[in-house]
A and B are shown apart, each in its own frame.
Chain A
Amino acid sequence: MNPDTRHPTPDTPLFDLLRGSLDHCVKCTICETACPVSNVTPLFPGPKYAGPQAERYRDPAAPSVEWSVDYCSGCGICTQVCPQGVKIAELNAHARRRVKARKGVPLRDKIVGRPTLLGRLGTPAAPLANASLRLRPIRVLAEKVLGVHRDAPVPKFAGRTFRSWAKKHKSPATGRRVVYFHGCGTQYYEPDVGEKVVAVLEHNGFEVDVPLKQDCCGLPLQSNGLFDDARAYVLRLARVLAPHARNGAIIVGNATSCTLMLKREAREILELEDDPDLKLVSEKTYDICELLLELHDRGELNTDFRPLEESVAYHAPCQQQGHWIGKPALDLLALVPGLQVHEMDARCCGIAGTYGLKAEKYDIAMKVGEDLFQQVADSGAAVVACDSETCRWQIEHGTHKPSAHPIELLHRAYGL
């Protein structure tokens, strides 16, 4: 068996990527040691049970007989640590979808699965929306009616969108084009992060294109079991980005969950292996730290950083780990003189996208994050650097310390 059978291409004979991968499981328990959820709650029996083991019992033609796999948060750490190449998290995603197909997808999941919808509704009325979401009675009502936990960390609408800024911004024409996929978080909640990303890229000689028709990558829909809707979104996004990729541009993003969706999850979980646009986009997508570190490796990164005499804790989100490229942010932050970086050794902050927002899962999410929150406190760091916005919101909620994307620190160190 040559390695290519683990990574099938359209040329390899009919091989079911996910179900076929269950054959690689030798029950070694390594995934169970790493699962952040099963280690804190009995409601999820663990990745080995829910993934390759239960898969042998599943009948695609019959309704799902399960419920516990719904407590898998989809963090993907199991797949990452599995030494045998079992697509555990991906198998779980499929099983979860079938559970929801049988039980019905709650209205809440349809709503939190659509950050674009929420964003469009909340942005024009941002001050009111933000204030309401911080009113206890409203949160209690939302928990009772919708099932969003009253204490769950919901972000603040920025009141403006990133693209409204991008529309008016013109990157200096350098000929070195890069396409910016900013994601919903940047668009509705953190447009300032997006501006900093653009500034850092321009500082390194890139001409940044922001396709204005881009929209959600569909990840929240996928993780809530709404596969058909997720497919529609991600393919729409692929159609917008692909022409740029065909012209030789690379696609860069700062939301590590969303770039992972484009790189891998959409192809594997939504079974879109055959779409040429998505395939091209996935090959050309980079995380911003990944890109900058590669530049540095080639000696092309601008390293005129001013000293930052600060202490920062760095947490790599589980879906950044899912890129399987290590922690490029660590190496980048190490270039900033004076900056004391404490690498956190925790697997997951708990939020796992929309998981930790849910009334029935919030407590689990907070227990999952406990270890990280404690490590942050023990480190004495003033700020927590983290690549994913939902994780930053969870970390701020759990540590009461500010959290920033690593790019924001670089931006400050550049003096931009």
Chain B
Amino acid sequence: MSHPSTYEPNSGFEKWLDARLPVVRVMNDQFITFPTPRNLNYWWTFGGILTFMLISQIATGVVLAMHYVPAADRAFDSVEHIMRDVNWGWLLRYTHAVGASMFFLAAYIHTFRGLYYGSYKAPREILWILGVLILLLMIATAFMGYSLVWGQMSFWAVTVITNLFSSLDAVVPGIGTRLVQWIWGGFAVGGPTLTRLYSLHYLFPFLIAGVVVLHIWALHVPGNNNPTGIDVKGPRETLPFHPYYTMKDGFALVLFALLFASFVFYAPNTLGHTDNYIPANPLATPQHIVPEWYFLPFYAILRAIPSKLFGVAGLIGSIVVLFFVPWLDTSRVRSTRYRPIYKWFFWAFVVTCFVLGYLGSQPPEGVYLILGRIFTAYYFLFFLLVMPVVGWIEKPRGLPGSITEAVLGPEAKPQAAPRQREPEAAL
């Protein structure tokens, strides 16, 4: 939240700099003394974890790009060259590949957290929309990065996904096909496709970094939401970001790094598909084309809808609907904690995402297809029906009067609440 600056330049140089480019002041006010609600739980640590993951992906990716060759006949071998002959190449590549999975794991937890605690509601709509935009850019970036390996699954995933644009032929005959050929740079997925995927895979992470800056900016205007969803009522209910949340986020980050490292060092290929160790072959289609785990729910939605055009619309809609969440939810209360009916629908939605993920990994036939349709229907109904209607008919549980009261119990009236000297002094 906007708060008076506490930065006082000490040395002559700091004063000189502060009058010209107050970076030190901004860093101090936004990342040291920034007033943060004191009741944030560990679900709030994923923002810091995601920042770390973005930096890790860019750092490993930049070095990998020094050794990778984006040519159709050399890409696969250059990846193996990195694994075998480049110093620490195996570590860079596994960190980058597993890192993509970890990035999505953290992003999904972060998104579900925002959804549960109503962090998208006023005044944080722009913050949420920027977050969805980041998710969209991440999906594009991860897809393009996966294609660069140029194994069988890379190649056929590119073929399937780029071919989705040909569904536009159903709208204006010929336009879809022309669009797909323009994307391919030819009449089939090939060398020109690979080089443009490579170029964009290098560009997009920096777009993400740019939107992340805006996302943090939009966070720092209204300040953090918190598990109660109640607005902060005064300086007593906040703590300076440092050292309280730097330490808490830091601890969570190390735990996350432990999970990350376990995969990198002991199960680097578990999250990938074995077919991607077969060099791309345009003449042999894999028996089942499946995306990486983090795309499986969307893949299930795509295949659940019988028409190709509407399947693509469903795929795109499953992300785009998130942009409208701030206005679809009609509840007056932010946190699901105080929403006795919505709570059930929320957890059913979480289960739905997991089930769709499982269904996306199975062939689209028989009972899998039927279930895919049921759960796809719920995915959309949750946003388009449950959110507006339940918010309207539900009577929320009584909200606590303040964050302090929510944490310490009703007997702790604001005036009886203990005084915090250090944080206020820091403010």
Q: Do the two shown chains form a genuine complex with each other?
A: no
Instruction: Give chain B's interface residues, CB within 8 Å of chain A.
Output: none
Q: Which residues on A are within 8 Å of B, measured CB to CB?
A: none
